[in-house]
Structure 1
Amino acid sequence: MLLGSLWRRCHPGRCVLFLVLALLLDVVGLVFLLLGILASLSYWDFFVYTGALILAFSLLFWVIWYSLNIEVSPEKLDL
């Protein structure tokens, strides 16, 4: 009962595409980063640097998603 009411109030916002892209890039970047760190490969640095770049690039989508979901009341906009 409590979990059902929690999921009803939680919504991803208006820009679901940016949220999905940010989450997807986070997962891919983390997989690459952990693969480069934990696997014994001769080209481990490629995975570490690529994973870090993908994680940094995902921050762009997080900022876009957050800034497009900000709601300001018309009274504060002085229209």
Structure 2
Amino acid sequence: MEYSAYVGRCLLFFSLAILMDVIGLILFFVGVAAPLSFWDFFVFSGSVLIFLSLVFWIFWYLGNLEVPMEDFLPK
């Protein structure tokens, strides 16, 4: 099965965004659910990872934009 039908052309950015989201959610829920004395480290680091994954989501979106060839030609 060809992945580009579902993911697009930028598999690397898509994979990094998904990976950072999953790790961020795991850290966040560990901080919320675990009775640790340093729970705030997990909650804040998970939130920061989820926020920083937005960079990779934007790169993935920009890499999948299609611009018509007429826009590149001089008028």
With the length of structure 2 as denominator, give the TM-score of the two structures: 0.87
Q: Distance in 2 between matches of 1:12 and 1:72?
A: 18
Q: Give ranges in structure 1 of 5+ residues lacking alignment.
A: 1-6
From 23, 26, 42, the equivalent of 2:21 is 26
Point out 4+ residue stretches in structure 1 off by more than 3 angstroms.
7-10
List runs of 5+ in structure 2 lacking aligned partners. Answer: none
Matched, 1:38 2:29: no
Q: Percent identity?
A: 46
Q: Does 1:61 align with 2:48?
A: no
CA distance in 1, matches of 2:5, 2:28: 30
Which residue pairs with 1:11 in the alignment? 6
